[in-house]
Each structure stands twice: as structure tokens, then as C-alpha cells.
């Protein structure tokens, strides 16, 4: 290898140059995004379920009803929608890639250790943005909900960052179970957690015992942030943000510990 290539691919102490490291992050993120956006088996359910629920309950059954109801359901189904790319985009894919040896190959490749996970996180964030954007279009175009540009942007940001705790949960499940069992396990988490967080039925309408345990679920902390983004609630933002960050860190650490032990 000549001197020019040495400058490009490594530093003097044998580490990757910053250009090569940045290129690895970009290439991995691009490949993950392209892989999932070209997979209709993943993208269609992610986009279809929240939009169909919103069309049915927020538009058809709420026809001529209170505009705040459509706005409330926009926030709730937005949270329901962004949970999916985090849980399934991470959980199912990591479980399958552990089974077929791709994860071991990725770890052996001369690329930054975080590039693999960062690519998946970016994919989940873009998918979450697509879900929220689709719901916003339906809310404005079909339900005639009045939403300012600032509110729409804040809801998009909430969805894109709010997907991260569910990425961490999905990663933890993905390193625990086999590829064939991951979808079933994740559905046993995804659907009950959505119900118990008040995404389908407002919490005040649920039994008292379920209201008391609702703060255990990360989705119950993301929903108030989504409601606040649309001007439907005045909440202290930072406590919810800190809880969601705590979930993200805790599940990432648990997943990393499991990977170190069993691969």
C-alpha cells in the first residue's frame, strides 16, 4: 500500500483515519435505511397500522365531532406508530442477524463498533418520521385539524427522538430470543404496552389499578410529550425526557452485557 492510501485508511498508530471512520458510519447508515425501506414486509405494517387506526377512529368515527378529539388521537396514534420501527426494526433484525451469523461478521469487520447500531437507529428515526408525517397529512387534509408549522415540527421531533427507548428495548429482546420467536415476543410487549399506556383508551377511562402502573411504560411518558407538542397539555417536559433517556440507557446496557456474554 502506498503512502497516500496509508493516510486515507489509517493514522500513524494503526487506527482508522477520521475520514475512513466517518465513511463507515455513512455507508452503514445508508445500507440499513435502503435495506428496510426496500422491504415491504417491514415498512407496510409500520405505516399502515397507525394510519388505518387514525382513519377509522380519528376521522370516520369522529366525523363532525370535536376537533380536539382528532388532535388527541393524532398524538396517541403517533406514539403508537413510532414504537413499531424501534421495537421491530431492532428486535426482529438483530435476532435474525444473530441466528444467521451476520451480527458476528459485522463485529469482526474493521469498522467502528457503533456504526451498526447507529445505522439501525437512523433507520428507525426516519421510519418514525414517515409515520408521523403520514398522520399529520391525514389530520390536516381529512380531519381538518388546525396545526401550526411549529406544532407539526415539534411532533415530528418528538417522534424521531421518542423512538430511541423502543430501539433499546427492541435491541434487548433481539439479543435474548431467536429470530423466529422475536416477532411474537415483541407483539406481546407492543400491543399490551400500547393499551396500558392509554394510547387506545384515555387513561382516566381505564381501571384505577391500570392508571397507577401506567408510568412504568415508556410510551406513557412519550404520549404527554406528543400532546404537549400539539398544545393539548401543559406538562413538565424534563421529567418525561429523563425517564425516557433512563429507559434507553438501561436497555442498551443490558443488551451490551448480554452480547458480551453470549454474542
Query: How much is the pLDDT for 114?
Result: 72
Residue 254: CA count within 13 A, CB half-sphere: 17
Q: Say if CB 223 and CB 212 are below 8 A apart.
A: no
Mean pLDDT, residues 188-205 taken together: 93
Question: What is the pLDDT confidence band of residue 8, given thresholds at 50, 70 and 90?
Answer: very low
Interatomic CA distance for residues 263 and 252, integer angstroms: 15
**pLDDT at residue 4 greater than cutoff 50:** no
Q: Which residue has the higher pLDDT, 141 or 103?
A: 141
Every domain of the chain and the residues it spans: 40-262
Nearest to 81 by CA among 177, 1, 199: 199
Q: Which residue has the cell 415483541?
A: 186
Query: How much is the pLDDT for 262?
Result: 67
Q: Which residue has the cell 435491541?
A: 171
Residues 6 or more apart whose CB falls under 8 angstroms from that of 156 comprise 129, 132, 133, 136
**Cα-Cα-Cα-Cα dihedral of 20, 26, 29, 34, to 10°?**
-120
Query: How much is the pLDDT for 1?
Result: 41
Question: What is the pLDDT confidence band of residue 43, given thresholds at 50, 70 and 90?
Answer: confident
Residues 6 or more apart whose CB falls under 8 angstroms from that of 149 comprise none
Mean pLDDT, residues 28-34 taken together: 77
Interatomic CA distance for residues 108 and 133, integer angstroms: 37
DSSP 200: S
Mean pLDDT, residues 71-98 taken together: 91
Interatomic CA distance for residues 110 and 125, integer angstroms: 26
Query: How much is the pLDDT for 97?
Result: 83
Question: What is the pLDDT confidence band of residue 9, given thresholds at 50, 70 and 90?
Answer: very low
DSSP 17: P
Q: Say if CB 167 and CB 86 are below 8 A apart.
A: yes
Rounded to the nearest 5°, which phi and psi values hold at 15?
-80, 165
Percentage of the residues of the chain whose pLDDT score is greater than 70: 89
Nearest to 78 by CA among 224, 204, 209, 208: 224
Q: pLDDT of 103-128, one tens digit each? A: 777 766 666 767 778 888 888 999 99
Q: pLDDT of 237-259, one tens digit each? A: 999 999 999 999 999 999 888 87
Q: Which of 161-165, 201-205, 228-232, 259-263 has the lowest mean pLDDT?
A: 259-263
What is the reported pTM?
0.86
Amino acid at each position: 500500500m502506498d503512502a497516500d492510501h496509508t493516510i486515507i485508511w489509517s493514522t500513524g498508530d494503526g487506527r482508522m483515519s477520521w475520514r475512513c471512520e466517518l465513511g463507515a458510519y455513512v455507508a452503514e447508515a445508508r445500507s440499513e435505511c435502503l435495506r428496510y425501506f426496500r422491504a415491504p414486509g417491514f415498512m407496510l405494517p409500520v405505516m399502515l397500522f397507525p394510519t388505518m387506526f387514525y382513519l377509522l377512529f380519528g376521522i370516520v368515527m369522529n366525523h363532525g365531532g370535536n376537533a380536539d378529539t382528532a388532535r388527541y388521537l393524532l398524538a396517541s396514534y403517533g406514539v403508537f406508530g413510532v414504537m413499531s420501527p424501534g421495537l421491530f426494526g431492532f428486535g426482529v433484525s438483530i435476532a435474525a442477524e444473530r441466528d444467521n451469523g451476520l451480527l458476528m461478521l459485522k463485529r469482526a469487520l474493521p469498522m467502528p463498533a457503533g456504526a451498526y447500531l447507529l445505522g439501525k437507529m437512523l433507520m428507525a428515526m426516519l421510519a418514525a418520521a414517515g409515520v408521523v408525517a403520514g398522520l399529520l397529512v391525514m389530520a390536516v387534509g381529512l380531519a381538518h385539524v388546525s396545526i401550526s408549522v411549529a406544532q407539526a415540527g415539534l411532533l415530528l421531533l418528538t417522534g424521531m427522538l421518542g423512538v430511541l427507548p423502543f430501539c433499546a428495548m427492541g435491541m434487548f429482546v433481539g439479543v435474548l430470543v431467536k429470530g423466529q420467536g422475536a416477532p411474537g415476543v415483541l407483539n406481546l410487549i407492543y400491543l399490551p404496552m400500547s393499551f396500558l399506556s392509554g394510547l387506545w383508551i384515555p387513561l382516566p377511562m381505564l381501571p384505577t389499578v391500570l392508571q397507577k402502573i401506567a408510568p412504568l411504560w415508556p410510551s406513557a411518558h412519550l404520549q404527554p410529550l406528543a400532546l404537549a407538542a400539539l398544545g393539548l397539555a401543559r406538562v413538565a417536559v424534563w421529567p418525561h425526557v429523563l425517564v425516557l433517556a433512563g429507559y434507553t440507557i438501561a436497555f442498551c446496557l443490558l443488551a451490551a452485557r448480554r452480547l458480551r456474554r453470549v454474542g
